[in-house]
Structure 1
Amino acid sequence: MPLKGISNITRQGVVISSEQIACECCDLTVEVSTLISGCKAHCPRCGHLLSSQTRNAFEKATAFAASALLFLILSLPYPFLAFQSQGREQQVSLLQSGYDLLVMGFPLLALLLFVFILLIPAFVLIAHLFILLPLLRDKAYSWSYGLARMLFTLHPWAMAEVFLIGVLVSLVKIAGMADLVIGMSFWAYLLFSLCLIITLSCVDRLQLWHALDIASLNQRKKREYQYGGAKEQGLQSCSCCGLIHEVNEKVCLRCSSSLHSRLPYSIQRTWAFLITGALFYIPANLYPIMHTRLLGADEPSTILGGVVTLWQHGSYPIAMVIFVASVLIPVAKMLVLFWLAYSIQAGHQKRVNERTWMYRMTELIGRWSMIDVFVVAVLVSLVQVGELVSIAPGIAANAFAGVVILTMLSALSFDPRLIWDNLNGTEMGTDAARLNEPSVG
């Protein structure tokens, strides 16, 4: 029987405290202790990663976040890339690329470029520093909880590494057209992206929320639970921080998020975003995603047409990257979400672990479809050499950006716990005592 108040267990002289949560994928109630460095805790029912611990995680994250911000600042004033053709040169910086798209009449692409590769990553890094620096001194403030809530909400939309891959694809596409010069800004942005990735990988969501509670001396009431889902025991977990509450509570006591035992209108919102995204996918493939004007002649290129062209020129790896990111992933993601939403409404009870895994993969890879949009943005800004050669975005660029955003929203609106709600008690497992302990390794 769980103890009331904070449960502290001394293990080899180290105080280990525990956190009660419900798995965000299958709703199983579990209790996760503060992990030893290098350990991970997985849900014993669906295998979802509940928590992980990196050695000196907060110290590393703070150092890399500060370094990432420095490299981001250095990447702004200097040339990012330069395009040289027959004595004429076109230089572009990160800020200039967004401005060029705005001037050419594509404000949506300019906004996405600025928000996804500069604004959100910068906010995420600053939020890490504001939260972690006090924690390193065993302090936490009331505003730290709200900042952490915003931080984890924006995580999926920080796409610096996706943009970087798009830049590399762009370089391959125009390598034969003229000489390319890589500027100082490119190397600074490369280092920024690497430091950002390391920062995000060091900070575990559950461990951060728990550390904030410990530093602010907030003792969370332990709930009595048995084997099974939280909902069937009259409990619910916060979708942001994971804290367990009674089912009649409306606001999270830790992060102030609205509480719901399941995401409100999850299936309806999933269908709405999904169907709209599928409709956008039609013009995204039928119309040109960019126009290449060479000596006055206009050569429109669709997504599939660009893949075929790269393949014919022998750029097989880049062609495969574009095909997977811009064709295979969006189609597979929409088909998987269609199947998951339908299977829930049809009351399917089989292959719940497989369907949960499919959802996790769909949520993870969806953002990489933005590569083609970033490729267009880079090429449009870089290749503008008067009447000699220039590249302009096509209307499919806006449509495809809409596909990526809508499918991401569809995945974020889907509640995977609904997959497990169709099961009855006997199909959930038999060894209650064992299954209520997360597997740690």
Structure 2
Amino acid sequence: MTASPAAAAAAALTTRAQEVSPRIVDDILTLVRQETSSYDLPRLATGLDLLRELTVQRLGRPDHEHRYPGGECGDTLTLTYAGTGTGTGTGAGHVLLVGHYDTVWPTGTLAGWEQLRPSDDGRDRLSGPGIFDMKTGLAQGIWALKLARESGAPLPTVTFLFNGDEEIGSLSSRPVIEETAQKADVTLVLEPTAHGAVKTARKGTGIFQVTATGVEAHAGLAPQDGASAITALSEFVVAAAKVAAPDRGTTINTGLFRGGSAINVIAGQATAGVDIRVSSEAEQTRVDEELDAIKVSDPRVRIDIDHAWNRPPMTLNAASAPLLALAREVAREQGRDSLPDTAVGGASDANFVAALGLPVLCGMGAVGDGAHAQGEFIYPDTVPAQTALVAGVLGRLARPLRG
């Protein structure tokens, strides 16, 4: 039986992805070897220059580019490549590919990190700081457009958005992401997969700062005159943990705690950084109200809470459902049995796009595990299929997706 044109094109694309897989892996490792801690501005700048250079090497000079200064965060870069076949005017598709180049790893982590790790199942693993989250996705996205171009299919206009502050909340890049997504028809976020599944639901996140202000006094001569900010904040942290409701998808973690000025001084001030994850806006409201209601035993200590909700919860909205269906159709054409989707506890820049009611899929990048953990890794044998999947989706979006 003769294969259909769609099946033949899908087979050719996957074959080509296999052929160039070693080059894609080389590009992944090139990005990983340039450390880009979220807090190291000079290395972030160098890393973004490297990422831009790599993109231009593979795709040529963009039709439009803009670099947005990040201030105390890494810069954000957009590179736009005009579509083919349908032009760039009315009726042409426009796809936004989003990926962050910053990592959680402090500068110097790379030294001594073993990159090639055999796994228990005999498959090779490639490891490195940021390789899973998410430098593999960056390289795969660039090569996806390259392979889609080589296929000769009509293509949408594609804008890459690379930001250097995702791991610390996308504090400077959020408005750029939202503005750029509103100009595109579809957004694909190149974050890692969840064991091969795309991510269609993510929790919302809060990054709260809690400050306790007490009364300093000499710990030996006049302890009764003091009101310990550390003791009061400790009471608050314990009470805050009880506000969590894992059965409703709400978790609360105090990850940072600082306070006091000297060991023999009743602490006059203490601060805590609290990470909050919720699955719904209703839970956001409940958490806000219950944290505000917490009382500490010493009334002389004042508790101030900075309610900083960083990312809204993400769900599979009506606009994204047709995009998921399209991705699954492409996966079937490329020989996959299925393309599962899942909900995860982590947040990403996809949360911002989904909250605008726009079509977005997240988790279009690496297959591996260990995000934010020593030994994070990818399976290099999955690189061709993941790259071909994104390339195939681009080839189906030369015109705007209709839901």
TM-score normalised by L of structure 2:
0.23
Question: Relative to total residues, which structure has the larger helix share, 1 or 2?
Answer: 1
Question: Relative to total residues, which structure has the larger strand share, 1 or 2?
Answer: 2
TM-score normalised by L of structure 1:
0.22
